[in-house]
Amino acid sequence: MDIVNPRPFLKSLAGKKVVVKLKWGNTEYRGNLVSTDSYMNVQLQNAEEVIDGKVKGTIDEVFIRCNNVMWINTL
């Protein structure tokens, strides 16, 4: 397994559809990654909130604080 520096990785995902898995519960957000900051907070647009594998709703824009994120990947 290769070690990846997270900052360049996150910058490379800007404008792409991603999934952000949260640490708490079984919650994830799927949407277009708009931006990240130096703390690795993330901003998504046109996001879906998914809990236990079921879409619970859509959110026009969501800001997720870095300490809540377990992992991020492309869809």
2-26 per-position pLDDT tens digit: 877 888 999 999 999 999 999 988 9
In whole angstroms, give the CA distance from residue 27 to residue 54: 10
Residues in contact with 18: Cβ distance below 8 Å, sequence separation at least 6, in sequence order: 30, 31, 32, 33, 44, 72, 73, 74, 75
What local confidence, expressed as pLDDT, does residue 5 receive? 84
What local confidence, expressed as pLDDT, does residue 39 receive? 92
Beta bridge partner(s), residue 54: 51
**Which 3 state secondary structure label does DSSP give 56?**
strand
Indicate whether 44 pLDDT > 90.
yes
Supply the pTM of this predicted model.
0.89
